[in-house]
Amino acid sequence: MNSEEEKIVEAVNVSVKYGQTEAISGITIAIKPGDYIGIVGPNGSGKTTFVKAMLGLVPLSEGKFVFGVKPVKIGYLPQRTSALDPKFPASVSEVISHGLLSEKKFPRRINSADKRRIDEIASMLGIETLKNRNVGSLSGGQQQRVLLARALVNKPEIIILDEPTNALDPHIRENFYELLSKLNAETQTTILLITHDAGNIGNHARKFLYIDRKLIFFGSFNEFCASCEMTEYFGPYAQHYICKRH
Amino acid sequence: MHQMISELVEALQYTFIQRALIAGCLIAVCCSFLGVFLVLRKLSMIGDGLSHAAFATVAFALLLNQSPLLVSIPLLMLASVAIYALNKKANLYGDAAIGMIAGTGIALGVLLASISGGFNVDLFSYLFGSILAVGKEELYAAMFLCAAVISVVALFYNELFSISYDEEFAEVNGIEVKRVNVLLMFTTSITIALGIRLVGTMLISSLIIFPAVTALQISSSFKKALILSASVAVFSVISGIFAAYLLDFPAGATIVLMNALLFIISFIIRRIKS
């Protein structure tokens, strides 16, 4: 297998502008199958813009994303979970079923095989008993699992999670991270996880992408922690904060 | 009681009552289905905006001596696209775009009515509805167009549901959000054009909003919400027409008040449950 085949997606000189403001510029990275990447950066640094550009939700002003040879399925868990209407009358099964629509042709119908797949993913994430419950009536942690199930139900090769643990308390947050690590280890699903939790992500992700409108660092945690260049960039304390628990 | 039942049985013998019931139920089902999507997307006032615009389209049709339904449908479609474009492209708040189209519609309607010699009986009948005057051709048109609207909702059910719940996720999932949104706007325009005959331009938005909000008070899943919304809408039309017949009330207003009553009941049920 050559290096080209190993890439599941490659960002080539990716830039995005909102009006005249450059949100991100010139980001070039190659993501391999099975990577678990923590995406970190200050507020407004372009982390969400970067993944939205990858998902095709915002147009690129320059550069391109090159996906692997076959069509790559991407699961997505958006940032604004709390912005979803808690009064929306959707059952857990109905919400998970949305994740299967990408594979359907018109008219997109959910069949019995799909229902079995929904049961399977609900069971895998420990929410099988909640299937008929209204999503709005669940706790934050349970809702997050439902949305993760929606992102995973069509067996994506890549899953992108945008600050999924923001609204969760520390105990549930750790459970969620463990769930992702298990998923990554067992199914080789590539994970891109945006987080503010820079001090903790090193315990779970294997690679580290630091963006501050441009690429600051991309590589393994060991490389990051040993990099003198990064010590110079962050100062010794910030680098230690990120690396201490790794 | 016995006398009331015999009066209702007698009412059912009249062709105009039969037509009103069939057309009313069909339009109510369309309104109730679309209402659930619009209310959940916080676009429920689009019905209000388009119904005000419909005042202008009816005035225009009457000025040209043409069928208000045939003139209204394409013009309301254009108005709905204008609301959508103003909302998305001009980056206006949704209700501001709706308010602008509604205001322009009323102003144009008044202007056109003035040009055609002032407000006449026909224009008034479209302001407040005249369901009991539904003709044979209008009934056939209602049957055909309602079948089209219900088919669109059935065929695009999962797309509409997914976009209503989480538009961004739907887009990532390959759903053509813009096209489905325009389709929703078009079906709403057709339904409004049909519905103004039923309860008038002043009250049609109630037929879109009330059944949906009533259903949303007590539904735990999306399918249940749609079924309940349609049931509420149909019950309101049937009970409203019969109540209007028995009590000699205006039918359109009675239908809307029935909807309001059912909403109050569902609201109380929700309060008791919680």
Digit-coded pLDDT (tens) for B150-209 = 999 999 999 999 999 999 899 998 899 999 999 999 999 999 998 887 788 878 889 999
Looking at residue A221, what is its pLDDT?
84
Q: Which residue has the tokens 């997109």?
A: A108
B9, part of any domain = yes
Q: Tell me which chain B residue has its CA closest to the CA of residue A99.
A: B173
Task: For residue A107, say if its preceding peptide bond is cis, omega within 30 degrees of 0.
Answer: yes
Report the distance separating Cα B73 and Cα B53, nearest Å.
11
pLDDT digits (tens, 9 = 90+) for A173-201: 888 888 899 989 998 999 999 988 777 78
* Inter-chain residue contact B162 with A102, CB threshold 8 Å: no
Q: Which of B34, B36, B25 is nearest to B213 (CA)?
A: B36
Whether the per-residue pLDDT at A245 is higher than 60: the answer is: no
B54, part of any domain = yes
Q: Give the strands of the sheet with A9-18, arranged side by side.
A: A21-31, A9-18, A62-67
Listed in sequence order, the residues at least 6 apart from A233 whose beta carbon sits closer than 8 Å to its beta carbon are: A216, A217
Q: To the nearest 5 percent, what fractions of chain A are helix, strand and coil?
A: 40, 25, 35
Beta bridge partners of A18: A21
Q: Is the separation of the CB atoms in B131 and B252 below 8 Å?
A: yes
* Inter-chain residue contact A98 with B161, CB threshold 8 Å: yes
The CATH number of the domain where B89 resides is what?
1.10.3470.10
B121, part of any domain = yes
Q: Is the separation of the CB atoms in B129 and B200 below 8 Å?
A: yes
B194, part of any domain = yes
Band of residue B82 on the pLDDT scale cut at 50, 70, 90:
confident
CA distance B14 to chain A (A): 40
Looking at residue A175, what is its pLDDT?
83
Which residue from A57, A85, A97 is facing B171, i.e. has the nearest CB? Answer: A57
Beta bridge partners of A16: A24
DSSP state of A46: S
CA distance B119 to chain A (A): 43
Q: What is the mean pLDDT of residues B232-247?
A: 95
Range of the domain at B94: 2-267
Q: Give the strands of the sheet with A158-162, arranged side by side.
A: A74-77, A158-162, A190-194, A36-40, A207-211, A215-220
Report the distance separating Cα B213 and Cα B225, nearest Å.
9
A67 phi and psi angles, rounded to 5 deg: -95, 165
B177 phi and psi angles, rounded to 5 deg: -55, -45
Whether the per-residue pLDDT at A1 is higher than 50: the answer is: no
B234, part of any domain = yes
B272, part of any domain = no
Tokens standing for residue B258: 């029935």
B274, part of any domain = no
Band of residue A240 on the pLDDT scale cut at 50, 70, 90:
confident
Type of residue numbered B239: S
* Inter-chain residue contact A90 with B171, CB threshold 8 Å: no
Looking at residue A157, what is its pLDDT?
92
Interface check B175 vs A, CB under 8 A: yes
Q: Is the separation of the CB atoms in B139 and B22 below 8 Å?
A: yes
How far from chain centre, in Å, is Cα A183?
A: 13
Interface check B232 vs A, CB under 8 A: no
Q: Is the separation of the CB atoms in B241 and B24 below 8 Å?
A: yes
Total domain count for chain B? Answer: 1
pLDDT digits (tens, 9 = 90+) for A135-178: 988 888 888 889 999 999 999 999 999 988 876 777 778 888 88
For chain A, which domains are there?
1-72+193-246 (3.40.50.300)
